[in-house]
Amino acid sequence: MTVTRRTRAPGARAAYLNGPALALGLAALLPVAFLAVFFLLPVGGMLARGFLPEGRLDLSGVPEVLGRARTLRVLWFTLWSSLAGTVLTVGLGLPVAFALYRLRFPGRALVRAVVVMPFVLPTVVVGVMFRSLLASRGPLGGLGWDGTWVPILLAFVFFNLAVVVRTVGGMWEGLDRRAEESAAALGATPFQVWRTVTLPALAPAVVSAATLVFLFCSTAFGVVLTLGGLRYGTVETEIYLLTTQFLDLRGAAVLSVLQLVAVVLMLAVAARTRAATETTRRRVGAKAAARTPRRHDIPALGVTALAVAFVLLPVGTLMVRSFRRSGRWTLENYRALGDPASTPALRVSVTEAVANSLRTAVDATVLAVVLGLVVAVVVSRRPRAAGWRRVVAALDGAFMLPLGISAVTVGFGFLITLDRPPLDLRTSPALVPVAQAMVALPLVVRTLTPVLRSVDPRQREAAAALGAAPWRAAWTAEGPVLARPLLAATGFAFAVSLGEFGATSFLARPDRPTVPVVIYQLISRPGVEHLGMALAASVVLAVLTTVVMGVVERLRVGSLGTF
């Protein structure tokens, strides 16, 4: 497989929906069962409570809830803020992905790590840091942004930049540069090269990333509450209020269905856009692709510098404040982390919480990566029959759904549906990694699928024709290009699990809290020592994640494209 022509993948490609396809279908049953039990069942249970209160269908809530002025305002804000957040994040993320995955410069690994850091910081801590910066006496107080929607958008970009940079960067890293160079040699301007060669090649990954970011923004919870000061409710915060405070399950069910419909529509549009742009690509090793910066890379590097500054401002504030107590520089906040007796507010020391977090993250990552790999392989196949193609597409979308549905709905759904054997899991410690895996799974799928789809199926067919067994053919054709994105996805899944708060706080047992849960407990207490410890623990969490991801990425997985 030395030369592969670039071809648009025609729908009627010879696919193998026979013996191996059957095996693949069976393999897909595992993630499907996972999704059914831990997502569809709980959500269905909550919807049933809302729409079938007395066992009879009662849709009277629909016009009533939709008629509330508040509902419309909440819907509108959710929609435009998520769209704006997505556009901003993608706009900033693309140049950064270029600089960090196409260029080679000293300190690149560090910058990559910095960009990922926000992704795992607990939202409540980031909210407090943003507000400290923007509050009227804060360093940026002059901007007058405190309590407006601006910080909410900034926070969307802050948290999700990593998603764009990594999803797009992973794709970009392996792209053969020669097509761009040929276009340039033939007289295309850099913009023409970007528009006609690079962008089409990246489109699937960009759409993937944008989809994820949109879902994250539209279901953002803590950060909207903290930064919006209650003025800017979203569908997610509204479902939370209706469910946990008002116990208005009817209203919550109506909003959940709206959320579901919106997410399905959006996924369908995204899938269409992806399908229209997906082509097979020649992929090369990262080494071959990255080059040293030239003069015309200055804008991209400039934007990257800006992005790093933007990320470092809240993170830096946090770090500085973690070393201060009562106006003095001190390590006291860090020392207290290892001492269970340092505050009566905690049942375990933060060091123990770190151990819990790491253990949970290992479970969640294994679960997410194994299931995600299966899903990615299945949905990257292109069956010949239109019906099967639709099944594959639906499957692809189904695993994205958990990101778009309120964590409260899923969490309360767990409580009312998983309450009897054989699924009496409500108090099982296994639910924590399961819930975290559910959040990480879409990221794994979206990182791997664009790469898998860019592999020409004829490579597999050629291998099969030469007598390789199907799995062997897949391994030979797809294994090499998959290795690096798989590592990236693993690191990402690990980070998601370490930073996950919403579902974890709901499910984690108090004697075995994870770090974000402990940080939340600390920050909700009076006393400067608790705030200081919360900040120190956040720094530990961020550094821990960065180190783990750095180590994972550094595992040299052969060099690609050299065989």
Subset of 397-426 contacting other proteins (CB under 8 A): 412, 415-416, 419-420, 426
Site for other proteins contains 225 (CB under 8 A): yes
Site for other proteins contains 253 (CB under 8 A): no
Site for other proteins contains 241 (CB under 8 A): yes
**356 Cβ contact partners less than 8 Å away, ≥ 6 residues apart:** 348, 512, 513, 514, 515
Site for other proteins contains 511 (CB under 8 A): yes
User: How many residues lie near other proteins (CB under 8 A)?
Assistant: 79
Residue 314 in contact with residue 158, Cβ under 8 Å?
A: yes
Smallest separation (angstroms) from other proteins to the CB of 147: 7
Site for other proteins contains 320 (CB under 8 A): no
Compose the 256-275 pattern: x for residues touching other proteins by CB under 8 A, - for all others: --------------------
Site for other proteins contains 18 (CB under 8 A): no
* Footprint of other proteins on 542-561 (CB under 8 A): 552, 555-559
Smallest separation (angstroms) from other proteins to the CB of 208: 24
Site for other proteins contains 53 (CB under 8 A): no
Find the binder of other proteins among 13, 389, 472, 525 (CB under 8 A): 525
Return the number of the residue (92 or 223) whose C-beta is nearest other proteins.
Answer: 223
Burial of 261 (0-12, 13-18, 19+ CB in 10 A): exposed
* Footprint of other proteins on 174-193 (CB under 8 A): none
Site for other proteins contains 287 (CB under 8 A): no
CA distances to 341, 346, 530 from 338, in Å: 9, 12, 14
Compose the 140-159 pattern: x for residues touching other proteins by CB under 8 A, - for all others: -------x------------
How far is Cα 447 from Cα 553, in angstroms, rounded to an integer? 14
CA distances to 169, 537, 561 from 292, in Å: 16, 37, 20
Return the number of the residue (17 or 345) whose C-beta is nearest other proteins.
Answer: 345
Residue 372 in contact with residue 355, Cβ under 8 Å?
A: no
Residue bearing tokens 């009277």: 60
Instruction: Give the binding range for other proteins (CB under 8 A) out of 85-93, 134-142, 180-188, 457-465.
Output: 134-142
Dihedral class, residue 125 (left if φ above 0, else alpha if ψ from -120 to 50, else beta)? alpha
How far is Cα 530 from Cα 539, in angstroms, rounded to an integer? 14
Helices (H) and strands (E) in the chain, counts: 26, 2
Site for other proteins contains 431 (CB under 8 A): no
> What DSSP state is assigned to residue 278?
-
How far is Cα 323 from Cα 50, in angstroms, rounded to an integer? 49
- What 51-56 contacts at long range (C-beta under 8 Å, 24+ apart), as own/partner pairs, is 51/250, 51/253, 53/249, 53/250
Amino acid at 147: G
Q: What is the CB neighbour count within 10 angstroms for residue 311? A: 21
Return the number of the residue (15 or 364) whose C-beta is nearest other proteins.
Answer: 364
Return the number of the residue (219 or 243) whose C-beta is nearest other proteins.
Answer: 243
Return the number of the residue (25 or 53) whose C-beta is nearest other proteins.
Answer: 53
CA distances to 99, 121, 123, 321 from 332, in Å: 39, 21, 24, 12
Smallest separation (angstroms) from other proteins to the CB of 127: 7
Smallest separation (angstroms) from other proteins to the CB of 293: 29
Residue bearing tokens 């209160």: 53
* Footprint of other proteins on 327-366 (CB under 8 A): 344-347, 356, 358-360, 362-363, 365-366
Site for other proteins contains 515 (CB under 8 A): no
Smallest separation (angstroms) from other proteins to the CB of 313: 16
How far is Cα 201 from Cα 194, in angstroms, rounded to an integer? 10
Site for other proteins contains 283 (CB under 8 A): no
Site for other proteins contains 432 (CB under 8 A): yes
Return the number of the residue (431 or 452) whose C-beta is nearest other proteins.
Answer: 431
Residue bearing tokens 């009566």: 344
* Footprint of other proteins on 464-483 (CB under 8 A): 480, 483
Return the number of the residue (20 or 340) whose C-beta is nearest other proteins.
Answer: 340
CA angle 275/276/282 to nearest 5° reads 80
Return the number of the residue (224 or 308) whose C-beta is nearest other proteins.
Answer: 224
Site for other proteins contains 76 (CB under 8 A): no
Q: Which two tokens stand for residue 178?
A: 């020669």
Site for other proteins contains 49 (CB under 8 A): yes
Find the binder of other proteins among 81, 89, 208, 243 (CB under 8 A): 243
> What is the rounded end-to-end Cα distance, in angstroms, of the chain?
8
Site for other proteins contains 226 (CB under 8 A): yes
Smallest separation (angstroms) from other proteins to the CB of 523: 5
Find the binder of other proteins among 1, 109, 306, 430 (CB under 8 A): 430
